[in-house]
């Protein structure tokens, strides 16, 4: 099973693509960021985000996607911009009929690595140790995305559910 994890942002969206058949072992197929310059208008950033997700879906044909649940902060403008980024990403996934599940960052880190308060650096070190890939190949902005993908795999494989997903996360 292939899972695409996504940590959305308008300027730096992290992604991680994993393959797993067992709850105890996974392989990272790819991880990185979809970067947008601060000089680009939001409309161009959204186009690039959707295009980047389409490319990842085309390259890896994920069975599922796992995305970070939105949080509501004090800055309404930031929340709206994050909502736009999530919308572009969710649209690209829906066009490809990829089922999407949402998890909070702390839930993903707890399920994947045992601590919901793990830092990006700690997640990168754990992923490197688990997979044998060099830590320098894991961008920090991709660590939450990798944790989201691993979390969804853990939930699916532990529950024995690989279909509609009742009880495994919030389906979007």
- 60-107: pLDDT as tens digits: 999 999 999 887 667 888 889 999 999 999 999 999 999 999 999 888
Nearest Cα to Cα of residue 92 among 75, 72, 67: 67
Is 115 or 47 the better-scoring residue by pLDDT? 47
Average pLDDT on 113-127 reads 86
Q: What is the pLDDT of residue 112?
A: 74
> What's the predicted TM-score (pTM) here?
0.90
Percent of the chain with pLDDT over 90: 58
For residue 105, what are the contacts with CB-CB under 8 A and spacing of at least 6? 7, 68, 69, 116, 144, 147, 148
SS3 137: helix
Spatial distance between the Cα atoms of 154 and 128, rounded to a whole number of angstroms:
18
pLDDT at position 25 over 70:
yes
Tokens encoding 120: 């990006």
Q: Which residues are catalytic?
A: 7, 68, 141
Please tell me the predicted confidence (pLDDT) of residue 165: 42
Lowest mean pLDDT among 5-9, 13-17, 138-142: 138-142
Task: Indicate the class that CATH gives domain 2-171.
Answer: alpha beta
pLDDT in tens, 131-166: 888 889 999 899 999 999 999 998 888 765 444 444
């Amino acid at each position: 099973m292939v899972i695409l994890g996504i940590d959305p942002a308008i300027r730096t969206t992290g992604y991680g693509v994993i393959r797993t058949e067992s709850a105890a072992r996974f392989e990272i197929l790819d991880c990185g960021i979809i970067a947008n310059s601060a000089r680009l208008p939001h409309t161009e950033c959204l186009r690039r985000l959707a295009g980047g997700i389409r490319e990842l879906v085309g390259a890896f044909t994920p069975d599922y996607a796992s995305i970070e649940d939105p949080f509501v902060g004090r800055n309404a403008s930031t929340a709206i911009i994050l909502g736009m980024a999530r919308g572009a990403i969710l649209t690209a996934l829906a066009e490809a009929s990829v089922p999407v599940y949402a998890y909070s960052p702390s839930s993903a880190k707890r399920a994947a690595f045992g601590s919901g308060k793990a830092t990006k650096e700690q997640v990168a070190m754990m992923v490197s140790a688990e997979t044998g890939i060099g830590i320098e190949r894991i961008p920090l902005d991709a660590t939450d995305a990798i944790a989201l993908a691993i979390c969804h795999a853990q939930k699916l494989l532990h529950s024995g559910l690989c279909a509609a997903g009742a009880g495994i996360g919030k389906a979007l």
